[in-house]
Structure 1
Amino acid sequence: MGALIWLASYPKSGNTWMRIFLLNLLRDRDEPLDINKMAGLSPMDSARVWYEPFARAPLDRLSEPEIAKLLPLGHKRITEIRPDPVLVKTHNFFGNWRGVPLHTGAVSAGAIYIVRNPLDVAISVRGHFGMSDLDRAIAYIANENVGARMTDERMPEFYRSWSGHVRSWTERPSPKIQVVRYEDLVAAPETHFARVARILGIPASDAQIERAIRFSAFDRLQKQEAEQGFIERPEKSESFFRGGKSGAWRDVLTPEQVTRIVADHREQMARFGYIPEGY
């Protein structure tokens, strides 16, 4: 039985990109990972399949406290996939729901937390959730009560605001939680993806790192999605892999929208160097 390594982030902050890189690195094959086979190698904590065997009734008929009590049972079940540590995607904030930890410490080895500038997150969130305009996305990432409802395939998820999510994972430094800036991954992938591999104890040569990065490039991921679709793409989203750029907000957001986002998230943005000059 392995332990869980959480790949955590606020939605649209690079979680899936990191997951694909690590799986390409661990597989060490001459062809890229099939993006639609990720779930069997690196599951999502939101997948209902991990929790349903322990429910006394269909999940739709359970109360929230009853569903919450299934979380540690499902997390333990994920550890049984393989004897090695299991990479698990999560968008939940770091904390409790209905008195139950959203990430079970007893079966966890640690976490990689990816943080991304909320000025760019707002743009990606708009497309990801099919929102009508950017002002709705800006309000969304400032809302402490946002998350995802339970569906036929997914458990409920709890995000909080961008600031609340970032604070929950990073305000108490821990050697078990390593923080990576999305912007650093974009600017110097060889350096920062290699750092993550070292943190996780993955033995890899420079050539293996370079190949995993190449196999995880956004143009390759977009091509795969265009040719065969992507099972993790939300129904309202035109595409999952949209571009992955850093700093796109400069050409998209108005000065008023930038001011609003900075006002909503100034404390956490300052911690990670995200406040633009003049704001």
Structure 2
Amino acid sequence: MATSNDSSQLPAYLQDENLTEECKELIRTLPTSNGRDWLWTLHLYQGFWFTARHLNGVLLARRHFRAADSDILLVAGPKTGTTWLKAVLFALQKRSCYSEPDRKSNHPLLQKNPHELIPYLEFTLYLKDQDPDLSGLTSPRMFATHMPLGSLPQSVKDSECRIVYLCRNPKDTLVSLWHFLNKVTSMEMGTYTLEEAFDLFCRGVSPYGPYWDHVLGYYKASLEMPDKVLFLKYEEMKERPIEQLKILADFSGCPFSEDEVADGGINDIVRLCSFDNLSKLEVNMTGKFRLAETKSFFRKGEVGDWVNHLTPQMIERIDCITGEKFHASGLKL
């Protein structure tokens, strides 16, 4: 093993100057995936796979983030609808500020990508900074993360901070993840075939995976602590958006009034946050969020697109894993 001052002999992921020494030392002790797995080296920490930089953000957030009782934390695995749910949650919480006709044209969602409006803990706030300035955030503060339940900062668990979790059918999640990562990686890094991605995903070796374990952690927490954890399904939000928005509004402390319902306030949010509307906005068709073009966050947003990609053998394998993983819990996706 190379010493800490012999950086030229260290793997590339340990030469990243933005990694803390704590993170570098931890990584040296962790199981590490093949460097071609999802085009990055992944590290197994507390049963889940992380890139070095994301693990660095997780460790910093766990050490420094202090949740407030009024905070709302949006959690989802990668490519399960996070961008959409950020838009929905922001629109719900801020609707009173932009309800008047003359203010609707100035709605932040028309001018900024949802990822700019609700920051990620480990991707944005604590990726490099141990003490980001959160003083400008109004209550309720809204944050997002891909962290599994066991990796959340202790202050989130100890406070009355509410957690909204979004899950998605694993077959659609896999297809969306495969498309997204091939879009955002450089040509020099190459791309992955669907067969390669499928095998890794099924073995649980994917960013923040195994996916099924990630889902189960929050599903069980939602049963044990329904006032703290709300468990949502992507498919149900697409099929019954008005019903699901009412549930989310009630849980997040901003229920719809009878007048809002009668005046079509819920329908306004559904239209504003629809995939069709968001994907065609100029702000979501140009520019970048971190290393990804903003348009890469909007592919199809469809339920069941996996039928256009997976073979019968793939479908059988992933359904078998899902059945085995979720059988005892009774969860169905």
- TM-score, structure 1 as length reference: 0.74
- Quick one: structure 1 residues 259 and 239, their matched pair in 2 at CA, closer, same or farther if it must change by over 3 Å? same
Q: Give the Cα separation in 2 of the matches to 1:256 and 1:234.
A: 34
Query: Any idea what SS the aligned residue of 2:218 has?
Result: helix
Instruction: Specify which of 163, 166, 170 is matched with residue 212 of structure 2.
Output: 163
- Compute the displacement of 1:216 (Å): 0.7
Query: Any idea what SS the aligned residue of 2:288 has?
Result: coil
| Higher-RCO chain (CA-CA 8 Å, sequence separation at least 6) | 1
Instruction: Specify which of 95, 104, 108 is matched with residue 150 of structure 2.
Output: 95
Instruction: Specify which of 244, 267, 271 is matched with residue 214 of structure 1.
Output: 271
* Residues 218-243 of structure 1 deviation map (CA, whole Å, 9 limit, x = unaligned): 11111125864253375489721111
Correspondences of 1:221-232 after superposition (within 5 Å)? 221-224=278-281, 228-229=285-286, 231-232=288-289
- Quick one: structure 1 residues 103 and 6, their matched pair in 2 at CA, closer, same or farther if it must change by over 3 Å? farther
- Are residue 241 (structure 1) and residue 301 (structure 2) matched? no
Q: Which amino acid aligns with 2:201?
A: I
Q: Give the Cα separation in 1 of the matches to 2:88 and 2:234.
A: 13
CA contact (8 A) 2:285 2:294 kept: no
Query: Any idea what SS the aligned residue of 1:201 has?
Result: coil
Q: Give the Cα separation in 1 of the matches to 2:312 and 2:294.
A: 26
Give percent identity, aligned residues only.
24
Query: Any idea what SS the aligned residue of 1:113 has?
Result: strand
Equivalence for 2:58: none
- Are residue 192 (structure 1) and residue 244 (structure 2) matched? yes
Equivalence for 2:112: 36
- Are residue 46 (structure 1) and residue 46 (structure 2) matched? no
- Quick one: structure 1 residues 269 and 242, their matched pair in 2 at CA, closer, same or farther if it must change by over 3 Å? farther
Q: Which amino acid aligns with 1:142?
A: C
Equivalence for 1:57: none
- Report the RMSD for the aligned CA atoms in angstroms: 2.9
Q: Give the Cα separation in 2 of the matches to 1:234 and 1:122.
A: 21
Instruction: Specify which of 141, 156, 169 is matched with residue 117 of structure 1.
Output: 169
- Compute the displacement of 1:26 (Å): 2.8
- Compute the displacement of 1:252 (Å): 2.5
- Are residue 250 (structure 1) and residue 307 (structure 2) matched? yes
Query: Any idea what SS the aligned residue of 1:24 has?
Result: helix
- Compute the displacement of 1:84 (Å): 1.4
Q: Give the Cα separation in 1 of the matches to 2:293 and 2:87.
A: 23
Q: Give the Cα separation in 2 of the matches to 1:259 and 1:236.
A: 34
Equivalence for 1:177: 229
- Are residue 202 (structure 1) and residue 202 (structure 2) matched? no
Equivalence for 1:24: 91
* Residues 82-136 of structure 1 deviation map (CA, whole Å, 9 limit, x = unaligned): 351222111111113xxx8477324551211111000111111111111532223
- Compute the displacement of 1:53 (Å): 4.9
The answer to which structure has the higher helix fraction is: 2
Equivalence for 1:67: none
Gaps in structure 1 of 5+ consecutive residues: 55-72, 148-158, 275-279
- Quick one: structure 1 residues 263 and 162, their matched pair in 2 at CA, closer, same or farther if it must change by over 3 Å? same
- Compute the displacement of 1:169 (Å): 1.5
- Compute the displacement of 1:255 (Å): 0.6
Instruction: Specify which of 139, 164, 167 is matched with residue 199 of structure 2.
Output: 139
Q: Give the Cα separation in 1 of the matches to 2:241 and 2:255.
A: 17
Q: Give the Cα separation in 1 of the matches to 2:124 and 2:283.
A: 27
CA contact (8 A) 2:174 2:201 kept: yes
- TM-score, structure 2 as length reference: 0.63
Q: Give the Cα separation in 2 of the matches to 1:146 and 1:251.
A: 22
* Residues 30-50 of structure 1 deviation map (CA, whole Å, 9 limit, x = unaligned): 235136354554211124544
Query: Any idea what SS the aligned residue of 2:166 has?
Result: strand
- Quick one: structure 1 residues 269 and 187, their matched pair in 2 at CA, closer, same or farther if it must change by over 3 Å? farther
Gaps in structure 2 of 5+ consecutive residues: 1-67, 99-103, 183-190
